[in-house]
Amino acid sequence: MPMHKGWLPREGFTVDVVARLIGRTALNPLFLAPLLLLARLTKRGEDLSILHPQAYSRTRLLFFLGVARWLNAYWSRGAENNWVRDDTYDWVRREIVVVTGGAGGIGGHIVRLLAERGVKVVVLDIQPLSYDAREQPSPRMLTVGGYKLTHANREKAPHVHYYKCDITSPSAIAAAAALIRQDVGTPTVLINNAGVARGKTLLGASERDIRFTLDVNCLAHAWTAREFLPAMVAADHGMVVTVASWAAWLSVPEMGDYAASKAGARSLHECLAAELRTRYAAPRVRTVLVAQGHTRTALFAGYAEGGRFVLPSLEPETVAEAVVAQVLTGRGGQVIVPGFGNLLAGMGGWPAWMQIGLRNACEKLMTNFAGRQVVEDLDGFYKGREGEKGGAGAEESAVLVPE
């Protein structure tokens, strides 16, 4: 599963291609500086700048804009990484990556990309792995604290380890984590990727629908972090990746619970990043926020796609490659794809008429939604789970699917 290469992405010619080209040319100080130097230091260049003063002044303006853009990116990278380096990442011999919802979809591609580069990956998912048999050996079943946990045989799959686990249950995560530390080692990277979508209006959704979405998409991020983060803090080394969505900024009809869960996940992520600096004295534990637009997975089947040039629907491999590329740098930051998402990130500061207009304009996006639902009868599912656990309640009762 090699990384995609080439000028054009899988999605074809989009505005992101144009923006990237402009960034490498018209807003690239290294590209423009020689032109300005020639205009100042050579007779021919000086004559041309006098003959074409407007072209010269615009080139100079683009140069200064490019420098400002470069300084902004430099300062942002420094702030995102607390102005400290961490050159100790050893992806083959030291790092162990936990991926929730890694049995398929975006998470499955993340797992395979990392494993093919020799990185040890642990998958936490309720579903079986959907990859090639070489990455899905016959598992051995383990039962700990009433939870069935499946661990892929390490000898047959040296880089992929699979545990069947309900990530919305803190006790199930604790049991799985104990086995992971025993069988694989102490995880150094956590990628919270699992997600679900019910696709219902606020009044059309049941209590179970809303709770289910929030359990999986938001609260599980807190439970996995509480289990795996302490070791990273103690070592002052590691990374937490939150796969959110554009929905964290833009809520549209029939996506209220989904958007709320993604906004919550983003807020938890931002708080964690601040606490790592100010409370835990662990500035080298990195945080990466992922905000992707519509991605063609079974989770969002039937979703109305936007304009292919400005708002292309992404292939899951595209998102996975962007996430893996960022993770392998060993640096914190943001992964926003497509680039239009950078405008949505500031939507809270837009005039009210623009915000309301955009939400209303998106009212048909979920009209034909037919996304995959692992659990159709949530009432029956929750009641069954509560009965099995002696009335454990909502805290112990949700299932995840890969996004």
Rounded to 10 degrees, the C-alpha dihedral 179/185/187/193 comes to -50
What residues are paired with 239 via a beta bridge?
189, 286
- Of 184, 6, 3, 9, nearest to 109 by C-alpha is 3
258 catalytic? Reply is: yes
* Tokens at 396, concatenated: 């112990």
262 catalytic? Reply is: yes
- How many CA atoms lie less than 13 Å away from 381 in the CB half-sphere? 17
- How many CA atoms lie less than 13 Å away from 76 in the CB half-sphere? 9
Contact of 299 with 198, CB cutoff 8 Å: no
CA distance 188 to 238: 5
- Of 315, 293, 298, 299, nearest to 362 by C-alpha is 293
* Tokens at 112, concatenated: 């395979």
Give DSSP secondary structure letters for 340-354: THHHHTTGGGS-HHH
CA distance 147 to 166: 8
Q: What is the CA radius of gyration of the chain?
A: 23
Residue 30 exposed, middle or buried by CB count within 10 Å (0-12, 13-18, 19+): exposed
Give DSSP secondary structure letters for 198-216: ----TTTS-HHHHHHHHII
Neighbour tally for 3: CB within 10 Å: 12
Selected catalytic residue, list 147, 262, 303, 382: 262
- Of 373, 376, 369, nearest to 401 by C-alpha is 373
Residues in the chain, total: 403
Active site residues: 258, 262
